[in-house]
Chains A and B, each alone.
Chain A
Amino acid sequence: MAESKKTRTAQPGEVKMTSFFAPYKKELIVGPFCKLVEAVLELLIPLIMAEIIDKGIAQADWRFVLKYSGLIVLTCTTGLCFSLVCQIFASRCSQGYGTDVRNALFRHINTLSSAQFDDFGTPSLLTRLSGDINQLQVAVAMLIRLVVRAPFIIIGSVVMAVILNPTLSLVFIAATPLIAAALFFIMKSTVPRYKKVQKEVDGLSAVTRENLTGVRVVRAFAKEEEERERFDREAGALAKAATTVGAVSALLNPVSLLIINLAITAVVYFGGGMVNTGDMTQGEVTAFVSYLTQISLALVVTANLVVIFTKASASGARVKEVLNTAPDVTDGEGVEWGEAGAPRVEFQNVSFGYGGNDVLQDISFKVYPSKVVGVIGGTGSGKSTLVNLLPRFYDVNKGHVLINGRDVKDYKLKQLRDRIGYVPQRTVLFSGTIRENMLWGNPGATDEDIWQALRTAQAEEFVIKLPQGLDTPVSQGGKNFSGGQRQRLTIARALVRRPEIVIMDDSASALDFATDLKLRTAIRHDLTDTTAFIVSQRATSVRHADLIIVLDGGVPVGMGRHDELMRSCEVYREIVHSQEDKEGKHDD
């Protein structure tokens, strides 16, 4: 626990989301400034109109009306220019910001250790890369475009009202906070309710997903009717939640409209009195009404802004959390590759754990080149973790892992990993062609090298039958190949680089026994200098290994050859017996 906690807490050189603004200082200053100018001009327009009414119409001066109408056109044209500049700057800044954050985040994710990566989980990292950053991008654009404008219009309108008529402006000073309060309370009660709606949607999706993945079971038990009822219940709950939140948020418009219109009524009432006493003009009353309308619009914008920024700050925190997770596997200094005569792989009292669990405890062994190591044990016994320590997907907590006599931490990561052929438990192929996938293992490989690797991996037989051969396209995840074919291709990819160590993490599970056997024989035969680690649940897959490591709950309960373990290791015997026919023929 302590280990993983440490990596998640803030580091001294903490990345701030604002630091990504650095290249966009110009945009950040000029953009809002332009917006401000536009807002000022916008506020002037009702004033000019008041002049038209008070002077032009009252004094029947058509030239005055013409001139001032022209002035409005001039004012709004200037406003348009400024606002266009602002929009362009805002777009540049927000898109640039998003792009930079995305690049940085992707780069950082690639430096995290597997433990940290699993901590976050792939789906969560994907949302952070896409949805969260988009949210930030929207917020940056709004920051430049509206954050200055909306409050400025509100304050500006109030100020203008105060200048026009301090007494009547009391109406403003009363109405504005009222609307703000109404907005605040309505939003405060809707936000959690919207979350509930989202939860109901998730629940609905979950039921649908269950029904799709379990469609055979549902139909085998003839439960379609009950499942439909279950779905209907979910749909009903969702409808109810949505209606409830709708009823509250529907208040927003009528309530703000009500307050504004009542304020206008008040302006008319008191304004009338003031015009009568000569404290105010007819045109000024009209201007007051205009300003009130403007305020109400600006307040609604502000409410939306609050929502956007609340979302963005949550997104920002999620992005920042990743960026500030210091990678716990760091690149080594880089030393010369190995010592002559040293064991290829050596574990010295290795222990490893994360999240409070001991995954591996006190493991020590040595293997020399061209030997095969079998790792066997039940689910969760730590088999994969053990081999993942070799390419440093994880780092040990205690002890040392040595390759060719040197601690793996001393090598450069690339130097280390380039010499290891890794075949993952879950087959992973990338979209492209078969050749492109094979070249991952060794960018300089010739077609001859590739075919050799395919042959060893027992993949030649089906690749050769494909009309396009090595140029056959591979769709995302390799979905156009069967499970067994995918496994053989991933094995071949690891072999293309003729690695010093090959790790097969339960990589033959989709292969039938015959192919599995051929594969193991071929590896032994073709890769004479390679040390192979075979992780498996099948006793037959590891039976002929030079060293079998039997794991039970992270503890090595047996190490040795098959016949030794059959004599000395209870757990191993159990595994073998459960999988074999007891009366079947034995080879010893």
Chain B
Amino acid sequence: MTKKETSSLKTLWRLLSFTKGCRGRFVMTFVFAVLAVILQLAVPILVGDAVDCMLGPGEVDLDRVLQYVIWLIPVVAGGAFFQYLMSLCANSLTYNTVRSLRENAFARLSRMPLSYIDTHPHGDLIARVASDIEIIADGMLQSMTQLFSGIVTVLTTIIFMFLLNWVVALVVVVLTPVSLFVAAFIARGSHKYFTAQAASRGELSGFCEESLGGMNVVRAFSHEERAQGQFEEINSRLYKCGLKAQIYSALVNPSTRFLNYLVYAAVGLAGGLIAVLMPSLGAVGGAYMTAGKLSTFLMYSNQYTKPFNEITGVLSEMQNAMAAARRVFDMMDKPVESDDSALPALPGAQGRIDIDEVSFSYTPERPLITCFDLHVKPGQRIAIVGPTGCGKTTFINLLMRFYDVNGGSIKVDGHDIREVTRHSLRQNYGMILQDTWLFNGTIRENIAYGKPDATEEEIVQAAKLASCDTFIMQFKDGYDTVIDEDSLSQGQRQLLCIARVMLTRPPMLILDEATSSIDTRTEMKIQKAFAYMMQGRTSFIVAHRLSTIRTADLILVMKDGNIIEQGTHTQLLEKKGFYSELYNSQFAE
């Protein structure tokens, strides 16, 4: 067994472990499949026997024909009924399994360290939780219904055929796998082209995404013709491999159909010859080959080959599902944040923060923060300034313990933040980032996000303090307005985020001033709200406004990941260093 097959088996086994709790349905699916198949296979036998009672004009045993017909009706009905029950069981089994898989995957995701979430494209992670698991569901459902009944059909048909006439049965059993081989052979050949086709498709959509996403630029630089040329070039490659892939795969159906007819002809020939020349050949239990038996065989040869074709289809579907499952498990197997449930919770903090000799980097090759010291007294205001990419966000990541330091320690009120629970640490901070995040719910739900049991009064109070009561009341549904992508302006979104933090009243704050995209009046409201909130709280502000910077107790000037200067506004100006250069650039000619 190859390595790939072993890993497929492992994946399958792991997937099956999610069926726990549904074992009963698993067994039932199988039982119903067997019952349905047996009843369905009995139909050709009854029909064949009935046909054998019709030898010619005046020679029909009408009583026996009626007898068979009476038998046929419950058998037919039962077959259909059990098939439906089997599908129902498989359905419920599949969707319950998939649901539990999905919930597990998401639970896992919600414990992943931020380093994982930050470095993986969100679209890809979403695809794993949503569409990949859908593919698994499709694969499971198909294999449950078709693979089960397919295998049962093949096995039972073989037994029935051998019971009828082993020679003709042998002909069918030997010939049919030939069609399987042909199908597999074609599939292997087409695989190459399908891979090429998928690659070209990916290339084309990547190209489209890029050039449609930057459409104004394409136009501004009169690049349309060249873009069209590139598009047509990729498109023509897609045509070439797409054509080959399609022709190849289009061979499967006609060829298997052809082979099935060959089997059909062989059954006719073998059965006919035996019936004519030596009816006793291959007979089991004295049942000689007859015209009726031949007709049964013909129906069987159809029924026998069909599941083979279906199984080939299901197998490729299963391969897809296994590939999807591997992607999901791959994500689930990534290490999650360490369990901190045994650690004590950080009590309501005073707001003293001690950062000692902290070093940190996202990748070992590129050290970012080295030997960083900072001591903050409760209630102090710390402004962080510096050019783009200087490490301001990294600093927040460390304070909130979104990332762990590589060396040194951060202490809140004397507690090392790695020795308290993450939840309790984070609840001591109120954080308002520049890229505002609100979830798809009502305004009320969003404000009460940090305190779901807040009273109506508290919510309105927080909204008023954050100056968002006015615009909320302008909506038809007031606090019950459902927020969607574009119902709020950037500034209004930020005000709501402020209200959300206002409600929880944490002892420490992390604020990120907006650089742009907010109109003047809203901007003033935000500043007012920020100022109110900061009273008596230890606050870190990523600052862009000079007024914020000037009133800070301490300014941290960051560059290339390090604090290069610290001090008050006046102190730093006197120093005539990087800060004073930065400050003066705003006003200089």
Interface string of B519-532 (1 = CB under 8 A from A): 11111100100000
Do residues A482 and B388 form an inter-chain contact, with CB atoms below 8 A? yes
Q: Least Cβ distance of B544 to chain A in Å?
A: 9
Do residues B57 and A222 form an inter-chain contact, with CB atoms below 8 A? no
A210 partner residues in chain B, CB cutoff 8 A: 437, 439-440
* Category for how many chain A residues contact B: 35 or more
Q: A254-B84, A268-B65 in contact; A99/B236 too (CB < 8 A)?
A: yes
* Other-chain contact of B84, A250, A483, A574 (Cβ < 8 Å): A250
A513 partner residues in chain B, CB cutoff 8 A: 582, 585-586
Cβ-based interface call for A117 (8 A): yes
Cβ-based interface call for A465 (8 A): no
Cβ-based interface call for A484 (8 A): yes
Do residues B221 and A417 form an inter-chain contact, with CB atoms below 8 A? yes
Cβ-based interface call for B302 (8 A): yes
Q: A53-B291, A57-B272, A258-B80 in contact; A242/B95 too (CB < 8 A)?
A: yes
Cβ-based interface call for B258 (8 A): yes
Contact residues, A232-252 vs B (CB, 8 A) = 232, 235-236, 238-239, 242-243, 246-247, 250-251
Cβ-based interface call for B56 (8 A): yes
Summarize A's interface: helix, strand, loop or mixed.
helix
Do residues A578 and B217 form an inter-chain contact, with CB atoms below 8 A? no
Interface string of A501-540 (1 = CB under 8 A from B): 0000010011111111100000000000000000011101
Do residues A219 and B422 form an inter-chain contact, with CB atoms below 8 A? yes
Cβ-based interface call for B55 (8 A): yes
B257 partner residues in chain A, CB cutoff 8 A: 76, 79-80, 83
Do residues A212 and B126 form an inter-chain contact, with CB atoms below 8 A? yes
- In the bound assembly, the distance between CA atoms of A587 and B272 in angstroms comes to 110
Cβ-based interface call for A129 (8 A): yes
Cβ-based interface call for B227 (8 A): yes
Cβ-based interface call for B581 (8 A): yes
Q: A239-B96, A509-B515, A513-B586 in contact; A95/B246 too (CB < 8 A)?
A: yes
- Chain B: which residue is nearest A221 at the CB level? B450
Q: A205-B126, A512-B582 in contact; A422/B72 too (CB < 8 A)?
A: no
Contact residues, B124-152 vs A (CB, 8 A) = 125-126, 129-131, 134, 137, 141, 145
- In the bound assembly, the distance between CA atoms of A122 and B209 in angstroms comes to 8
Cβ-based interface call for A103 (8 A): yes
Cβ-based interface call for A165 (8 A): no
Do residues B40 and A208 form an inter-chain contact, with CB atoms below 8 A? no
Do residues B103 and A232 form an inter-chain contact, with CB atoms below 8 A? yes
Cβ-based interface call for B155 (8 A): no
- In the bound assembly, the distance between CA atoms of A79 and B42 in angstroms comes to 32
Q: Least Cβ distance of B275 to chain A in Å?
A: 5
* Other-chain contact of A235, B60, B76, B102, B145 (Cβ < 8 Å): B102
Cβ-based interface call for A469 (8 A): no
Query: Considering residues B217, B231, B302, which has the most beta carbons from chain A within 10 angstroms of its beta carbon?
Result: B217
Name which of A13-21, A86-94, A351-359 contacts chain B: A86-94
Do residues B125 and A272 form an inter-chain contact, with CB atoms below 8 A? no
* Other-chain contact of A87, B125, B254, B424, B427 (Cβ < 8 Å): B254
Contact residues, A185-219 vs B (CB, 8 A) = 201, 204-206, 208-219
Q: Least Cβ distance of B448 to chain A in Å?
A: 11
B440 partner residues in chain A, CB cutoff 8 A: 206, 210
Do residues A414 and B547 form an inter-chain contact, with CB atoms below 8 A? no
- In the bound assembly, the distance between CA atoms of A317 and B437 in angstroms comes to 36
Cβ-based interface call for B364 (8 A): no
B273 partner residues in chain A, CB cutoff 8 A: 62, 65-66
Name which of B4-12, B262-270, B355-363, B460-468 contacts chain A: B262-270
* Other-chain contact of A129, B54, B107, B208 (Cβ < 8 Å): B208
- Chain A: which residue is nearest B396 at the CB level? A216
Contact residues, B7-60 vs A (CB, 8 A) = 40, 43, 47, 50-51, 53-60
Do residues B130 and A290 form an inter-chain contact, with CB atoms below 8 A? no
A360 partner residues in chain B, CB cutoff 8 A: none
Q: A129-B205, A430-B210, A578-B523 in contact; A422/B96 too (CB < 8 A)?
A: no
Contact residues, A118-134 vs B (CB, 8 A) = 122, 125-126, 129-130
Do residues A231 and B103 form an inter-chain contact, with CB atoms below 8 A? yes
- Chain B: which residue is nearest A61 at the CB level? B276
Interface string of B60-71 (1 = CB under 8 A from A): 101001101100
Q: Least Cβ distance of A248 to chain B in Å?
A: 10
Do residues B519 and A378 form an inter-chain contact, with CB atoms below 8 A? yes
Cβ-based interface call for B517 (8 A): yes
Q: A278-B58, A417-B222, A578-B523 in contact; A205/B91 too (CB < 8 A)?
A: no
- In the bound assembly, the distance between CA atoms of A282 and B48 in angstroms comes to 11
Query: Considering residues B54, B134, B430, which has the most beta carbons from chain A within 10 angstroms of its beta carbon?
Result: B54
Do residues A379 and B291 form an inter-chain contact, with CB atoms below 8 A? no
B196 partner residues in chain A, CB cutoff 8 A: none
Cβ-based interface call for B114 (8 A): yes
Q: Least Cβ distance of B308 to chain A in Å?
A: 15
B294 partner residues in chain A, CB cutoff 8 A: 53, 57
A110 partner residues in chain B, CB cutoff 8 A: 215, 218-219, 224, 227-228
A574 partner residues in chain B, CB cutoff 8 A: 520-521
Cβ-based interface call for A446 (8 A): no
- Chain B: which residue is nearest A499 at the CB level? B220
Do residues B437 and A213 form an inter-chain contact, with CB atoms below 8 A? yes
- In the bound assembly, the distance between CA atoms of A367 and B431 in angstroms comes to 46
A332 partner residues in chain B, CB cutoff 8 A: none
Do residues B134 and A379 form an inter-chain contact, with CB atoms below 8 A? no
Q: Least Cβ distance of A267 to chain B in Å?
A: 9
Contact residues, B230-265 vs A (CB, 8 A) = 231-232, 235-236, 238-239, 242-243, 246-247, 250-251, 253-255, 257-258, 261-262, 264-265
- Chain B: which residue is nearest A111 at the CB level? B224
Do residues B515 and A130 form an inter-chain contact, with CB atoms below 8 A? no
Cβ-based interface call for B577 (8 A): no
* Other-chain contact of B222, A246, A418, A511 (Cβ < 8 Å): A418
Do residues A272 and B219 form an inter-chain contact, with CB atoms below 8 A? no
- In the bound assembly, the distance between CA atoms of A38 and B299 in angstroms comes to 21
Do residues A239 and B122 form an inter-chain contact, with CB atoms below 8 A? no
Q: A80-B258, A96-B239, A235-B103 in contact; A277/B57 too (CB < 8 A)?
A: yes
- Chain B: which residue is nearest A202 at the CB level? B130
Contact residues, B89-124 vs A (CB, 8 A) = 91-92, 94-96, 98-99, 102-103, 106-107, 109-111, 114, 117, 122
Interface string of A536-570 (1 = CB under 8 A from B): 11101000100000000000000000000000000
* Other-chain contact of A130, B50, B77, B205 (Cβ < 8 Å): B205
- In the bound assembly, the distance between CA atoms of A422 and B223 in angstroms comes to 13
Do residues A208 and B125 form an inter-chain contact, with CB atoms below 8 A? yes
Cβ-based interface call for B83 (8 A): yes
Do residues A52 and B92 form an inter-chain contact, with CB atoms below 8 A? no
- In the bound assembly, the distance between CA atoms of A56 and B137 in angstroms comes to 51
Do residues A216 and B51 form an inter-chain contact, with CB atoms below 8 A? no
Cβ-based interface call for B277 (8 A): yes
- In the bound assembly, the distance between CA atoms of A571 and B519 in angstroms comes to 11
A575 partner residues in chain B, CB cutoff 8 A: 520
Do residues B66 and A269 form an inter-chain contact, with CB atoms below 8 A? yes
Cβ-based interface call for B370 (8 A): no
Contact residues, A415-457 vs B (CB, 8 A) = 417-418, 420, 422, 424, 428, 430-431, 440-441
Do residues A282 and B546 form an inter-chain contact, with CB atoms below 8 A? no
Cβ-based interface call for A37 (8 A): no
Cβ-based interface call for A141 (8 A): yes
Contact residues, B319-371 vs A (CB, 8 A) = none
Known: A79-B257, A278-B56, A422-B217. 15 other contacts (CB 8 A): A72-B264, A76-B261, A83-B254, A95-B243, A99-B242, A122-B212, A216-B431, A257-B80, A257-B83, A258-B80, A269-B69, A275-B57, A378-B520, A417-B221, A428-B217
Closest 8 CB pairs of A and B: A378-B519, A278-B57, A250-B87, A428-B214, A422-B220, A214-B437, A65-B272, A276-B60
A-B pairs with beta carbons under 8 Å apart, 20 shown: A57-B275, A72-B265, A83-B254, A99-B239, A106-B228, A122-B215, A216-B437, A219-B400, A221-B504, A250-B91, A255-B80, A289-B295, A379-B489, A381-B519, A388-B216, A440-B221, A440-B223, A512-B582, A574-B521, A584-B550
